[in-house]
Structure 1
Amino acid sequence: MKTLLFLFAVSVSINFGFSQNLNTERMALNADNMSVSTAKSSPITLNKEYLDNVLDNSMAIHVSTLEKQVSQFNIISDSKYKGESKPFKTIFKTNKVSIAVSYDRTGKIINTIEKYASVKLPDAVRDTVFKTYSEWVLLNVDYYVYYNTNKKVKKMYLVKIGKGKLKKKIKVNSNGDIL
């Protein structure tokens, strides 16, 4: 039985490793289709606060790539943008990512709700989960980011683990603290 569980855990780990690489390539291709701002203000300067708050060196490359693309999106080039003073809302979506964004009329990000499906766990989060649930196996990981210019950014992993027929969902922050 232990051998069977061990083989299952190794199989799941290998599948997550390969699926992470395939998703990164698809995401990068989809991210290339997004417009880059040519407005008077540099998009990097305009949304520097957003990038400073959401970028995380321990995150998967496709996550940071898409967050950078969202920060550089030129709302003026979007056919739905009418130049109104109310926030311009749009959704960036791929097969495993959904980012709902509100921009002000200058293109500055007001808030985002981001969901990344099937991501790789950063070391701190992985260590906490497996230290607390040592006999469980990893089933799935989704990553959520909630950004608002007036509030502290919230980053959370929803980790699904299993042990035999038992399944459990755990919320963990980016520091590895179980919520």
Structure 2
Amino acid sequence: MAEVSMVVNGRTVTRTVEDRTLLVEFLREGLGLTGTHVGCDTSQCGACVVHVDGKAVKSCTMLAAQASGSDVTTIEGLASGGELHPVQAAFKEHHGLQCGFCTPGMIMAAVDMIARHGGGPLDEATIRAELEGNICRCTGYHNIVKAIAAASETMAGMKTAAE
């Protein structure tokens, strides 16, 4: 058994877990944060993407104990003050979801992608290449790419306005 303590969506949590508990299990079963999905258990689909210390991580490949001491953000913690994150808003506006199973992981991957590219607008080729590790079983990629492109433009505008 291991005691893990981390900040999840701005709240400090401490729990005792089995050593082999995956971060995704800790979030879903231990904390009831079911927005993070389990699609494959082999890090192939990206449905379980969360942010650990600001970086996208497939939570089915990380032990909860490895995340101890970290700051973890799930899809539930992405919105702020009742307002959707710009990527969430773009997915809604541009119909970047179908069944919704992949959506949380896609959104979390997109937020990381935009941040890694300096918050500026992203082109379709970049978005498609970077989404390679996230699978949409409904094949809704066209609208997902449109949503991420729109969000990256919105976020670039927000960045410019802040400067």
In our comparison, the structure showing a higher alpha carbon Rg is 1
Q: Give TM-score scaled by structure 1 length.
A: 0.26
TM-score, normalised via structure 2 length: 0.28
Higher helix share: 2
**Structure with the larger RCO, 1 or 2 (CA within 8 Å, 6+ apart):** 2
